[in-house]
Amino acid sequence: MIKTSTTISNKLGLHARASAKLTKLAGSFTCDVWMSRGDRRVNAKSIMGVMMLAAGMGTQVEIETDGAQ
């Protein structure tokens, strides 16, 4: 398992277009990809899940992967 933290730097946060790009990238990997903010953890391959994080600019999120690299 790989786990890292990052801060959202896009001035619009994880809006629809940014979320779509992120989920497309996450979907290109065979491993599980998860994002979390606070106590909410979502599948990063789900655009609705990523948007439900409501991560605006400056928000710190954690990204976790598990499985084959």
Residue 12: left (phi > 0), alpha (psi -120 to 50), or beta? alpha
**CA 65, CA 55: separation in Å to the nearest integer?**
19
Catalytic annotation present for 15: yes
Residue 54: DSSP 8-state: -
Considering 3, 15, 17, 24, which one is annotated as catalytic? 15
**CA 53, CA 51: separation in Å to the nearest integer?**
5
Please identify every residue annotated as catalytic.
15
